[in-house]
Amino acid sequence: MVSLAETTAVVTGGGGGIGGGTSRLFAAAGATVVLNDIDAELAESAVADIEADGGTAVAVVGDIREASTVEELHATATEVAGGAVDVLVNNVGDYRPNGLFAETDEEQWAAQYEIQLHHVFRCTRTFLPAMQERGRGVIINVSTVEAFRGVPHNSAYSAFNAGVSAFTRSLAVEVGRDGIRVNCIAPDMADTLQTPGDSMLRGRDPQLIRSWIPLGRWGQPLDYAKVMLFLAGDLSSFMTGNTLMVDGGTMAASGWYGRASGSGWTNLPDQP
């Protein structure tokens, strides 16, 4: 396993799902993890799991969309690290379809901006200066494959996640000379609390997964966490500005399909 010994890592949304898997794996690799989650129960569970396995973690409970939460997270992580943190994972996002774009409003766009992109700006801006002063650091953002393909009923979601990947590229160029690497992952088909596999199946035959996803299964939190561990460690030391697809091959295989009934779209082909 990649070693993150003597490393302090911050993971937003680090209690459950992909973030929870990342917190646990980073701690297993030796990092001291400072995790944030809006759900106190998930945050406490992650810390308990990490400590039970001999690791070290601290939780900061709060809504990462709020500036006060970011400030508390930064203050806590700085104290734990004794200065700049080594790794910042901007993981929080929310897959929540808004419907047809023509029927959306500015309140929905603003909500999507806050949960998908704005907090990434705020967290990065808060943690970056100390990394620059020290001369090293790693930032990992989480986007989605939906930023790279047409996704009906999710135009704002798709657009702001595309912004996460664009921000990743541009920031990587800006701060490379400061010794800071900035990369991103784009998940798909994640079996998590937010997008459970049973919900994605919608009562269809589980064997169909083998025809929808080239690797033949849903992604689990650990699948995504492993890629972030790679990006956090020395094995990726000459990589920056990238968005890595972590999708079981879905982007290579297919996109979205109109339903045979003519009612809406699906990213999983209809059963005959």
How wide is the angle at C-alpha 21 spanned by C-alphas 83 and 181, nearest 5°? 45
Give the DSSP per-residue string, 148-188: SS--TT-HHHHHHHHHHHHHHHHHHHHHGGGTEEEEEEEE-
**Inter-helix orientation angle 106-113/155-175, to 10°:** 40
Task: Say which amino acid occupies 82.
Answer: G
**95, 113, 157, 224: which is the annotated catalytic residue?**
157
**Could you count the other beta carbons within 10 Å of the beta carbon of residue 2?**
16
Residue 228 CB partners (closer than 8 Å, separation 6+): 22, 25, 26, 89, 140, 185
Strands 8-12 and 32-37: parallel
Active site residue 157: yes
Active site residues: 157
